[in-house]
Structure 1
Amino acid sequence: MKFIQMMDQPVAPGGLVEWSPSTVGGFAHWENDTRSTSHNHEVHLRAALEHRWRTGREGGRESWLGLAIEFDEPMSVPAIRAALTRWIDRHEVLRSHVVVKHAGLQRLTTPPGSVRLKMGRVGWYAESGPLLDQLAGSFDRATAPLQWPAYLFATVARERSFTLLFAGDHSLLDGYSLILAQHELTELYHAARERREPELPPVGSYVDFSAQERSSADSVDVDHPAVRAWADYLDANEHRMPRFDLADPVVPDGDDADGDTPDGEPGPPQSSVTLELLDDDHANRFTAVCVAAGGSLFAGIVAALAVAYRECGGGDVFRCITPRHTRTQGRWLGALGWFVSVTPVAVDSTGTGSFAALVQRATRALRTTRVAADVPLLRVTELLGYGGAPSFVVSFIDTRHAPDAAAADAGGARVLRSHNYSPDEVYIWVNRTPSGVRISARFPATGPMHAEVSAFLVRFSEIVRAVGDQSTFGPTVPWTGTTP
C-alpha cells in the first residue's frame, strides 16, 4: 500500500460529497469522561494551542493522516452512510474529544449511536487537479485537533466506481490504524449493501488505552530503564535529539522554528518523495543478506542508511529516531488510535569490514534501545528536564499480513498524509508490502538541506539495490568502501 502525500496522486474526477459528523445539541449532551489523555495527545494539543496563540491561526499545522479506498462498483448512498456511522460507533476515539483548560485537560465522550453524518454535495469535477485542491483544503480545515470532529469523510462517485476518502488528525490515529481501516470500511460497506452483519472482530478503545498508558507512565521515575536509555543516548549526543546534520539548514531571516513567516502565514510546504525501492524478488534478496548476518530487513535498512549518511558527509555515527508500536495487548491490535512511542537509534560504522557487520551493529542498536519505547517521550522529557522534539525520524512497517494487503498494494487503497511546513524536519517511511519495499519521505523544500537529503536518498537507494543484486542468499557481502 502506498503511503503518499495527498497532493502527489490524483483522484479520478466525479461527484464530490463531504460527510461531516455531528451530534444533536453539540457538546450539551456529551458526558464528562474521567479517563486520562495520552501523553502523545496532550503534547499534540498543547502544540496546536501554542500555535493558535502565536499566529492567530486555527489548526494543527496540517498534521493529519488519511485513507483513500477505490471501489469498482456504483456507490450506494445508504450503504456508505451506514458503513461510516457504524465505523464511528466501533471506534470510541472518534466519539471522544479533549478540551484544554487552565486546570488541565477535560475529556468529553458521546455514546454509540449518537453521531450523525451530514451529507454535503460539493459538486461535479471534470478534472482531477481542482478536485484534489478541494479535498486537500477541506481536510486541512476539518482536522484541527482543538475541535470536534477533527476528521472528515468524502466520496467521489462516478457511474461505475467511487473513491472513499477519510482524513483525521494524528491525535486520533496512526498509520497502522489506517492500514487496517481499509479492510474495515470495505467490509462495513459491503455488509450494509448486502444487508448482513459485518465479519469483523471486536476491538478495544484507544480511550481506555490512553488512560492505562498515562497511569503507568506517570508512576515511573528517572531510574526506569526507558528513561535511563534516553538519558544515555542524549548524553552521548550533546544532550540533543538527532538531526539530519550534513550541514546546518538555512532558514530565511524572520522565519521561526515552525516554518511560519512574521505575519503568521506558513512558509513553503516540504518536498515529498514516494517510490518503489525494491520489487518483491529484490526485497527478498536484500532481506536474505540481512538475515544471514543475524539481522532483519529493518536492521538492513538502518545499516544502509548509515552507509549513505557517512558517504554523504554525515560522519561515522548515524543517529535517528524510530517509531515503535505500543499495541502490546490483543484488544489494541485492531483499534483506531495513536499507538506509537519512539526510540533513539545510533549506529557507528567505524571499522566495519562488511555490510553484514554493519547489519549486526544496527541489530544491536535497535535491540538496545527498544526499552526506550516503554515510556512516552513527553514523560521522559518531563523527568529529564529536556524540551527537545524529534526532527529526524525513520519509520519501518511490514504490511504484508494486514487484511486485503495485496489488493490494497495493487492500487485498491493508499494511506495519505498532509503536507508539512517544517524548515528542518526529515521523515523517512520504509514500508515492506506484498509487492516489495516502498519508501516515502518529506524534507525541506528550500536551502542546502533540500539538495543534501535528495542526494542522501539517492545514495541510500543505490546501496540497498546493490546489496540485493549481490545477494547469494547466504555468504557475507564483501565491503568495498563506498559501495556494499
Structure 2
Amino acid sequence: MDFLQILDAPVAPGGLVEWIPAVEGGLGSWRRDDRLTSHNHEQHLRSAFEYRARTQREGGRESWLGLAIDFDEPMSVPAVRAAMLTWIDRHEVLRTHVVLKRDRTERYSTAPHTVHLKMTRIGWYTETPLLLEQVAGSFDRATAPLHWPAYRFATVARSDSFTILFAADHSLVDGYSLVTAQYELTELYRAAREQRPHTLEPTGSYIEFSDAERGRADAADAAHPAVATWRDFLSSHGGVPQFAPLNPVDESDDPFDIEHPAQSSRTVKVLDEGQTRRFEAVCAQAGGNLVAGLIAVMALAYHRAVPDAEFACVMPRHTRTDPTWLHALGWFVGLSPVAVPVDDDTTVATAIARASASLRAGRHGASLPFLRVAELLGPSRAPGLVVSFMDARGTPTAAEADAGWARVLRSHSYSGREVYIWLNRTTSGLRMHSRFPAEQPDAVLPFLDDFASLLAGTADAR
C-alpha cells in the first residue's frame, strides 16, 4: 500500500458526501469511564491544547492518518452506512473521548449502537485537485483531538465506482490500524450489501490496552530496562538522533514562535518482489532479517552523505504483543534507539550484523512509552531522524490493496528539522515513503536516492 500525503492521492472526482458521527444528547449523555489514558494520548492532547492557546487556532495543528478505498461498483448508501456504524461499534476507541484537566485526564465513553451518522452532501467535483482540497480541509478540521469525534468519513460516488475515505487523529490510530482497516471496511461493506454476517474475528479495545499500559508505566522507575536502554543511548550519542545533512534551522525555545511550511514528501517503490526476496536472502546469509538489512544499507548511504557522522535514528515499534490487540484500532507504538557505526571499509554483511545487534539491544527501549522515559530521565528534544518499518502483507486483501485500490493517507506535517522515512514490505516488494523539510530538499533527496540505489544494487548482485 502507498502511504501518501492526501493531496497526492489519486482519488477520481465525483459526488462528495461527508459522514459525521454524532450521539443523541451529545457528550452529556456519555458515561464517566475510569480507565486510564496512555502517555501518548495525554501528551498529544496537551500539545494540541498548548498550540491552540498560543496560536488561537482551534484544535491544534493537524496530525491525522487516514485511508482511501476504491470499489469498482455503484455505491450502496445503506451498505456504506451499515459498514461505518458496525465499524464504530467494533472499535471502542471511536466511542470514547478524553477531556483534559489541569493535573489529570477524564475519559467518557458511549456504548455500542449509540453513535449515528449524519450524511451531508457537499457537491459534485469534476477535478481531483479541487476535490482533495475540500476533503483535506474538512479532515484537518474534523480530526482536532480536543473534540469528539476526532475522525470523519467521506465518500466519493461515481456512476460505476466509489471511494470510501476516512481520517482520524493520530491518538486514535497508527499505521497498522489502517492496514487492517482497509480489509475490515471492505468486508463490512460487502457483508452489508450481500445481507450476510461479516467474517471478522472479535478484537480487543485500545482503551483496555491504554489502561493497562499506563498503570505499568506509572509504576516504572529509573531501574526499568527501557530507561537503562535510553540512558545509555542518549549519553553515548549526545541526545536523540538528528539528520546531520540538514543545515541548522532557527528553532527558539518556544516551538510555536516560528512557522515552517508544510513538509515535502516522496513516495517510491524501491524494490520489486524478486529484488526484495534476493535482498532478504542477503540479509539472512549475514545473520540478519529484512529490517536489519534496510537499516544497514541506510547507514552505509548515510556515511557516504556525512562521513563524520554516525548513523543513528529512532525506530517506532508496535506494541501489539498480545493477539488481543492485533486488529484493534489505536496508537500501539513505542520508540527504540538504533545506531550503526560504519566506515569506508564496512561491507554490507558487516553492517547487517551491526544493525542486527543494535536492533536487539534497542528493543527494550520500546517497552515503556518514551514520554514516561523522558519523565524519568529529563526532557529531551524530539527526534530528527525517524525510520519506520511495516509489513503490510497480513490481511486477506493485501495484494489488492497493494495493487492500488487502497491507500493510507496522512495530513501535512510542519518542521524545519524532522526527516521521517517509512519502509513498507508489501506483496509486490518494498515501498519507501518520506517527509522532510521543504526548505532543504537538496540535503535529503540525494541521501534517499543513494539509499535506494545501494539497496537495488545489493539485491541485484545476489
What is the TM-score with the length of structure 1 in the denominator?
A: 0.93
Please give the alpha-carbon distance, in whole angstroms, between the structure 2 residues aligned to 1:157 and 1:357. Answer: 53
SS of residue paired to 2:444: helix
Residue deviations 1:254-275, cap 9 Å, x none? 99635x64xxxx5311000001
* Alpha-carbon offset, residue 333 of structure 1: 0.4
Q: Is the 8 A contact 1:180 1:403 kept in 2?
A: no
CA gap of 1:16–1:314, structure 2 versus 1, over 3 A, is farther
Q: Is the 8 A contact 1:309 1:315 kept in 2?
A: no
Q: Is the 8 A contact 1:44 1:171 kept in 2?
A: yes
> Given the alignment, which residue of 376, 381, 384 partners 2:374?
381
> Given the alignment, which residue of 379, 403, 420 partners 1:427?
420
Q: Which residue of 2 aligns with 1:344?
A: 337
SS of residue paired to 1:442: strand
* Alpha-carbon offset, residue 25 of structure 1: 1.1
Is 1:242 the counterpart of 2:241? The answer is yes
Please give the alpha-carbon distance, in whole angstroms, between the structure 2 residues aligned to 1:283 and 1:113. Answer: 45
Q: Which residue of 2 aligns with 1:445?
A: 438
Is 1:456 the counterpart of 2:447? The answer is yes
Spell out the pairing of 1:4-403 with structure 2 (5 A cutoff): 4-238=4-238, 240-251=239-250, 257-258=255-256, 261=258, 266-313=259-306, 315-350=308-343, 352-403=345-396
Residue deviations 1:452-483, cap 9 Å, x none? 11111011111101101111xxxxxxxxxxxx
Please give the alpha-carbon distance, in whole angstroms, between the structure 2 residues aligned to 1:116 and 1:314. Answer: 57
Structure 2 gaps of 5+ residues are: none
One-letter amino acid of the counterpart of residue 110, structure 1: T
* Alpha-carbon offset, residue 286 of structure 1: 1.3
Q: Is the 8 A contact 1:10 1:129 kept in 2?
A: no
Q: Is the 8 A contact 1:316 1:348 kept in 2?
A: no
Please give the alpha-carbon distance, in whole angstroms, between the structure 2 residues aligned to 1:469 and 1:284. Answer: 10
Q: Which residue of 2 aligns with 1:3?
A: 3
* Alpha-carbon offset, residue 428 of structure 1: 0.2
* Alpha-carbon offset, residue 390 of structure 1: 2.1
Q: Is the 8 A contact 2:9 2:409 kept in 1?
A: no
* Alpha-carbon offset, residue 317 of structure 1: 1.5
Please give the alpha-carbon distance, in whole angstroms, between the structure 2 residues aligned to 1:314 and 1:178. Answer: 38
Q: Is the 8 A contact 1:22 1:115 kept in 2?
A: yes
* Alpha-carbon offset, residue 102 of structure 1: 1.7
* Alpha-carbon offset, residue 306 of structure 1: 0.6
Q: Which residue of 2 aligns with 1:478?
A: none
Q: Is the 8 A contact 1:60 1:143 kept in 2?
A: no
One-letter amino acid of the counterpart of residue 91, structure 1: H
Please give the alpha-carbon distance, in whole angstroms, between the structure 2 residues aligned to 1:150 and 1:298. Answer: 33
CA gap of 1:352–1:398, structure 2 versus 1, over 3 A, is farther
Structure 1 gaps of 5+ residues are: 472-484
SS of residue paired to 1:171: coil
Q: Is the 8 A contact 1:18 1:120 kept in 2?
A: yes
Please give the alpha-carbon distance, in whole angstroms, between the structure 2 residues aligned to 1:122 and 1:330. Answer: 40
One-letter amino acid of the counterpart of residue 255, structure 2: A
Please give the alpha-carbon distance, in whole angstroms, between the structure 1 residues aligned to 2:327 and 2:89. Answer: 14
Spell out the pairing of 1:411-426 with structure 2 (5 A cutoff): 411-426=404-419
**Once structures 1 and 2 are overlaid, which stretch shifts more, 288-297 or 165-174?**
288-297
RMSD: 1.4
Q: Is the 8 A contact 2:7 2:129 kept in 1?
A: no
Please give the alpha-carbon distance, in whole angstroms, between the structure 2 residues aligned to 1:445 and 1:11. Answer: 24
Please give the alpha-carbon distance, in whole angstroms, between the structure 1 residues aligned to 2:165 and 2:110. Answer: 24
SS of residue paired to 1:311: helix
Say how many residue pairs are matched: 462
CA gap of 1:52–1:469, structure 2 versus 1, over 3 A, is same
SS of residue paired to 1:257: coil
Please give the alpha-carbon distance, in whole angstroms, between the structure 1 residues aligned to 2:404 and 2:301. Answer: 31
Q: Is the 8 A contact 2:217 2:368 kept in 1?
A: yes
Q: Which residue of 2 aligns with 1:465?
A: 456
Q: Is the 8 A contact 1:226 1:375 kept in 2?
A: yes
CA gap of 1:248–1:314, structure 2 versus 1, over 3 A, is farther
One-letter amino acid of the counterpart of residue 325, structure 2: W
